[in-house]
Amino acid sequence: MARIGIFLCHCGTNIAGVVNISQVREAVKDIPQVVLVEESKYMCSEMGQGGIREAIEKNKLDRVIISACSPRMHENTFRKTVADAGLNPYLLEIANVREQDSWVHADDKEAATEKAIALTRTAVAKALLNQPLTPKRVGLTKRALVIGGGIAGIQAALDIANAGHPVVLVEREPTIGGRMAQLDKTFPTLDCSSCILTPRMVEANQHPNITIFTYSEVMSVSGFVGNFKVQIRQKARHVDSVKCTGCGICWQKCPDLVPSEFDTGLGGRKIIYVPFAQAIPNVPVIDMPNCRYVKHLEAAKEGKKLPPCRICEKLCPTGAIDWEQEDQVLTEDFGAIVVATGFKPFDYGRYTEFGAGKYPDVIGLLQLERLLSASGPTNGELKRPSDGAHPKTVVFLSCIGSRDERMGKPYCSKVCCMVMAKQAILLKDHDPEIQPYVFYIDVRAGGKDYEEFYQRSQREQGVLWLRGRVSKLYQDNGKVIVMGEDSLMGRPVEIAADLVVMATGMEANDGAVDLAQTLHISYDTHGFMVEAHPKLRPLETNTDGIFLAGTVSGPRDIPETVAQGSGVAAKVLGLFSKDELATDPTVAYVDAMRCTGCFLCAEVCPYGAIDKEPSRDGRLLAKVNESLCKGCGLCVAGCRGNCINLRGFTNQQVIEEIMALCR
Amino acid sequence: MSLDYEPRIIGFLCNWCAFAGADLAGTTRTGYPSNIRIIRVPCSGRVDPLLILKAYQQGADAVLIAGCHPGDCHYVQGNYFARRRFALLRQFLDYLGIEKERLRLEWVSASEGRKFARLVKEMTEEVSRLGPRKDTVRRPVKVATE
């Protein structure tokens, strides 16, 4: 006979306001083997947990049911609670009566109460078959992988490295620095962006504990927390980074120019190039498809003749150009992975009413950032793209690819209002004759000194903020005509602008979904990665040992991104402070008496966790390798003879749950 | 006489996506009919067809299996196995005298609380329209007369 204790949590009014707790108590108290039903206003509070511990000890409980919030919320909390009272933590079962009952059935209290009873009963039925389980202990590699070399990744890498652990920083572009390197100034302090970023980049580069792989991508990830195995592809730069001194002769003499990605297409870069002057590492890459020598080789194959060029090779004083270099695949071990792959600006070309990206004087935020920057394509002289004239009337359009259901982007990108305020101020700074207009829906200036900054743009700098949307843009006689509405004055507005700036929102970065799938972590409909809990675990994912920092999980400004970088480092260091980790004991096991050795289980196992072991009569039978098994249960559903089962989710347990729920 | 029929739906939800999605529906207070009863499983690929049949045998009016979107499975490929098994079992339901609408496999990510709520609503409406199971029903049907 089991001795079951049921603990009903009120969760303040979250549960008790909908579910009639005393009715639940009445319904479950007479279930066979239930010896105790207790209530608490907050079961997770110290008092609530103390009550559970006391009840276990006093009543010699050997099964505990907690009817409360989702097990995804507090399963670990309560497992610890029962373990403190000397009970095996896997004898605990949680009935999810908050997230999956009281919160969704608040309009029908009777049905919610009935459901709470059913869920609690079901937990009892399942718990009766729970077995005490003991986690195994495994070692861990105290080495972190940071994916993404923007400010979030750099911050995380520095903080982990400063605590004494080796870090590998992987960046797919030829340099670290990320989006922040493209910015001119930052709000609300108007700090020069690269002046505050590049010292961090240099620090990361010179740190003895940090290894930087630029122009590299993560190909595959296997293993589990503490013991990840990651394949990293280092793309061929065609420049030997050991020999190269970064003298710059090659990119000065390279004869061809193509639009620069770093300057958002506004300026040009050479074929052998570093993205910007302070790039780290200061080793160029050769853009092979555009290279004259590569074109020469391809033409030669077709029997045509093109000049071979190879000027970079001829002029390089150290002989660093290497045409034969190939992509390299490295396999490395890590204990933790930080994902900090950032965002990309929304493509405003999707707005056909605003010229579908075809009007040269309609640009995005990031383009204006480059035009304002002293290191930009115009060396900081504000010239509009079409004719190089100095614009005098500049119009900003807010919420481009933000708060727009039509574009499938219902979310607010959070920073664009402040970026517009900043850029409008910078425009005035460049040329006091410029009149900036800003069309906005709402101004969102939530942040330290942000509201003051926005007010300053209005009061001191004379930026005109017009509440309303723009319906159309068209080109007329060297101007872009903006047809909008001032909804506060209730009248249409028409402005002949020299330059129009689209306040482009943040979108999930290219390849974000692929990376999430490689890492087996969740992402939302917009491609932003999903946190383990939006409020309480914003830096963790549902996969232990994989963490998120910065705009990879949603729009954020720089201070928040940096804070997340440091936060994630704290999470990684917490993990690395242990010498061994407990593995989840809810793994599969084989009933050797029934196993026929068909190995269907091995075929479906994604982890190769099924070993073949000879039995006494020499037949090969399945055996689960517990350190590889992750407890998915595919083998259990795959087995024909019910010979393999999953601890914590056995067939019999699920059947008991079904029976209890169908009553 | 009107038939006050409250279908009972058993939902097998994978821990990583669908169960988290259902939790999110709660966190965001997105209501849905109370007809669904959720069983947490590690992966949609853990759901043995026999478990689904067990639910029908026990009188469930419909069964929902919900897992991660294709490509997103926490266990690499579990949802693909779930999809194949579902396709086979669905063919078999006719033979059992159970309408195909009484079994659904859906992809619900951890961020799709609204989708989950919509699904449950849809399914409840559909099964209510179908009425009680026409094969042997063990569970007595609640019938109210006015």
Based on the fold, state whether residues A221 and A272 are members of the same structural domain: no
Chains A, B: CB contacts under 8 A, how many? 161
What pLDDT shows up at residue A222? 87
Q: Is residue A111 part of a domain?
A: yes
Q: Do B68 and A522 touch (CB under 8 A)?
A: yes
What pLDDT shows up at residue A1? 85
B50-87 burial string, b = 16+ CB within 10 Å, else e? ebbbbbbebbbbbbbbbbbbeebbbbbbbbbbbbebbe
Q: Is residue B143 part of a domain?
A: no
CATH of the domain at A45: 3.40.50
- Residue B77 vs residues A13, A513, A579, A632, B84: alpha-carbon distances, Å: 41, 16, 32, 10, 11
In this model, does residue B3 exceed pLDDT 80? no
What pLDDT shows up at residue A627? 79
Based on the fold, state whether residues A337 and A365 are members of the same structural domain: no
B7 near B124, Cβ under 8 Å?
Answer: yes
Residues of the domain holding B68: 9-130
Q: What is the mean pLDDT of chain A?
A: 94
Q: Is B55's Cβ below 8 Å from some Cβ in A?
A: yes
In this model, does residue B88 exceed pLDDT 80? yes
In this model, does residue A81 exceed pLDDT 90? yes
Which residue is it, tokens 């029934």?
A594
* Nearest chain B CA: its distance from A512 CA (Å): 12
- Most B CBs within 10 Å: which of A639, A658, A659, as the mutation test of the B interface? A658
pLDDT digits (tens, 9 = 90+) for A188-234: 999 999 999 999 999 999 999 999 999 999 999 988 899 999 999 99
A55 near A5, Cβ under 8 Å?
Answer: yes
Nearest C-alpha in B relative to A630: B75
Q: Is residue B47 part of a domain?
A: yes
Last residue in a domain, options A326, A353, A373: A326
Q: Tell me the mean pLDDT in the region A127-132.
A: 95
Q: Is A183 helix (H, G, I), strand (E, B) or coil?
A: coil
In this model, does residue A305 exceed pLDDT 90? no
In this model, does residue B144 exceed pLDDT 80? no
Q: Is residue B138 part of a domain?
A: no
Q: Is A451 helix (H, G, I), strand (E, B) or coil?
A: helix
pLDDT digits (tens, 9 = 90+) for A436-474: 999 999 999 999 999 999 999 999 999 999 999 999 999
∠ CA A419-A420-A424, nearest 5°, is: 115
Q: Tell me the mean pLDDT in the region A582-586.
A: 89
Chain A residues touching residue B41 (CB < 8 angstroms): 633, 649, 654
Based on the fold, state whether residues A350 and A338 are members of the same structural domain: no
Pairing of strands B103-107, B36-41: unpaired
Q: Give me the percent of chain A exceeding a pLDDT of 70.
A: 100
Q: Tell me the mean pLDDT in the region A352-366.
A: 91
Whether the complex's predicted ipTM is more than 0.90 is answered with: yes
Chain B residues touching residue A101 (CB < 8 angstroms): 26, 34
Chain B residues touching residue A19 (CB < 8 angstroms): none
Q: Work out how many domains chain A is built from and give that number.
A: 5
Q: Is residue A264 part of a domain?
A: yes
Based on the fold, state whether residues A206 and A250 are members of the same structural domain: no
Nearest C-alpha in B relative to A655: B51
pLDDT digits (tens, 9 = 90+) for A487-536: 999 999 999 999 999 999 999 999 999 999 899 888 888 999 999 888 88
What pLDDT shows up at residue B5? 82
Residues of the domain holding A385: 344-507
Chain B residues touching residue A649 (CB < 8 angstroms): 41-42, 46
Based on the fold, state whether residues A351 and A500 are members of the same structural domain: yes
Q: Is residue A140 part of a domain?
A: no
Based on the fold, state whether residues A360 and A482 are members of the same structural domain: yes
Based on the fold, state whether residues A164 and A307 are members of the same structural domain: no
pLDDT digits (tens, 9 = 90+) for A596-625: 999 999 999 988 889 999 988 889 999 998
Q: Work out how many domains chain B is built from and give that number.
A: 1
The model's confidence at residue B141, banded by pLDDT at 50, 70 and 90, is: low
Q: Do B72 and A543 touch (CB under 8 A)?
A: no
The model's confidence at residue B139, banded by pLDDT at 50, 70 and 90, is: low
Based on the fold, state whether residues A37 and A9 are members of the same structural domain: yes
Q: Is residue B25 part of a domain?
A: yes
Q: Residue B64's beta-bridge partner residues? A: B11, B104
In this model, does residue B1 exceed pLDDT 60? no
Q: Is residue B141 part of a domain?
A: no
Q: Is residue B60 part of a domain?
A: yes
Q: Is residue A657 part of a domain?
A: no
* pTM assigned to the model: 0.84
In this model, does residue A298 exceed pLDDT 60? yes
Q: Is residue A386 part of a domain?
A: yes
CATH of the domain at B99: 3.40.50
The model's confidence at residue B20, banded by pLDDT at 50, 70 and 90, is: very high
pLDDT digits (tens, 9 = 90+) for A18-40: 999 999 999 999 999 999 999 99
